[in-house]
Amino acid sequence: MESSIKDLIKRAAEDLANSKYAVAFTGAGISTESGIPDFRGPSGIWTRDPEAERRSYEIFGKFLRNPKEYWEEALRSPFFSILEQAKPNPAHYALAELEEMGIIKAVITQNIDALHQKAGSKNVLEFHGGITKLRCIYCGCRFPREDFSKEIEEKRIPMCKECGSPLKMDVVYFTEPIPRDVYELSFEEAMKCDLMLVCGTSAVVYPAAELPRVAKRRGAKVIEVNFEETPLTHEMISDYLIEGKVGEILPKIVEEVKKLRERQ
Ligand code: NAD
Ligand code: ZN
């Protein structure tokens, strides 16, 4: 590992150890080492198949027009079974450990794969929803997906237990608004934090990409861990970028934080 990267890892550990309220903001890049492809990275789904990007803009409209057809298709995508079977990688465990140590107070994720929770993170805000739940877009209620396995298996439309409307996956599709509760909580965290650790996101999907910008405007330090530079790097929203694999860098940051704590 290059010495400049080692220095940045030490710097990030010091910044985290000195922070009062750190939050992590994660994207698809934190799960590629769990075998889930991202969208826009070098071997991302859309980088390889631009047509898939176009199709993804049609799913929400389909749910609104024809929930039955939506449910016939929703769980059939090969991407869905990849997500279901994936296991957390060292990057997810590193963030869970930083939370356990009392340093990271919340993980705001754009991912829908629930790997942060599987790794043991407790305060996870799923900005784009998650695959383990169903949600009613009319009254906002969420239900565990397993409560509706029978309906889903029999290709019947799952109905909201509160208001009787058709349910969809909790996952937020393109063109669908972000659910108000998670939107508000995430922006509160971004306004409150004094450090935001941004991991594996290209930071181009809005409104999520606004979160590090809000944190920066409120005076927080913003640290990026990514394979490559992003608009946050170019616009100097991030104080510095640690370039490399999240699964290697985040555990090293945790090691350094531990060393700092031992010395205190
Ligand atoms: P993105 O695909 O736009 O960007 C991922 C970024 O992470 C890229 O900059 C890439 O270079 C970097 N990256 C990939 N692997 C990395 C690694 N191992 N180490 C360091 N950096 C790495 O992803 P995004 O910004 O999260 O936006 C895509 C949207 O698609 C999100 O809203 C998300 O909801 C959704 N999505 C989710 C999943 C998932 O749940 N795992 C997977 C794909 C897409
Ligand atoms: Zn409802």
Q: What is the pLDDT of residues 144-168, one digit of tens each?
A: 999 999 998 888 899 999 999 999 9
Q: What is the pTM of this model?
A: 0.95
Strands ordered across the beta sheet of 133-135: 142-144, 133-135, 168-169
Output the CA 87–ligand 1 centroid distance in Å. 16
Q: How many domains does the chain have?
A: 1
Quick check: is 93 in a domain? yes
pLDDT band at 3 (very low <50, low <70, confident <90, very high): low
CB of 34 shorter than 6 A to ligand 1: no
pLDDT at 1 exceeding the cut of 70: no
Fill in the amino acid letter for 80. Answer: F
Quick check: is 101 in a domain? yes
DSSP-assigned beta bridge partners for residue 157? none
> CA 134, CA 168: separation in Å to the nearest integer?
6
Quick check: is 190 in a domain? yes
CB of 200 shorter than 6 A to ligand 1: yes
Quick check: is 118 in a domain? yes
Quick check: is 57 in a domain? no
128 is catalytic: yes
Structural domain of 231: 3-36+88-129+178-263
Ligand nearest to C-alpha 131: 1
Residue 234 is part of a domain; what is its CATH number? 3.40.50.1220
Using the 8-state DSSP alphabet, how is residue 141 labeled? -
Quick check: is 100 in a domain? yes
CB of 188 shorter than 6 A to ligand 1: no
Output the CA 208–ligand 1 centroid distance in Å. 12
Quick check: is 25 in a domain? yes
Is residue 189 within 8 Å of 106, Cβ to Cβ? Answer: yes
pLDDT band at 42 (very low <50, low <70, confident <90, very high): confident
Quick check: is 159 in a domain? no
CA geometry: angle 202, 84, 203, nearest 5 deg: 10
Question: Which pLDDT belongs to residue 49?
Answer: 80
Q: How many residues make up the chain in this entry?
A: 264
CB of 201 shorter than 6 A to ligand 1: yes
| Stretch 206-213: mean pLDDT | 98
pLDDT at 75 exceeding the cut of 80: no
**How confident is the model over 112-122, as pLDDT tens digits?**
999 999 999 99
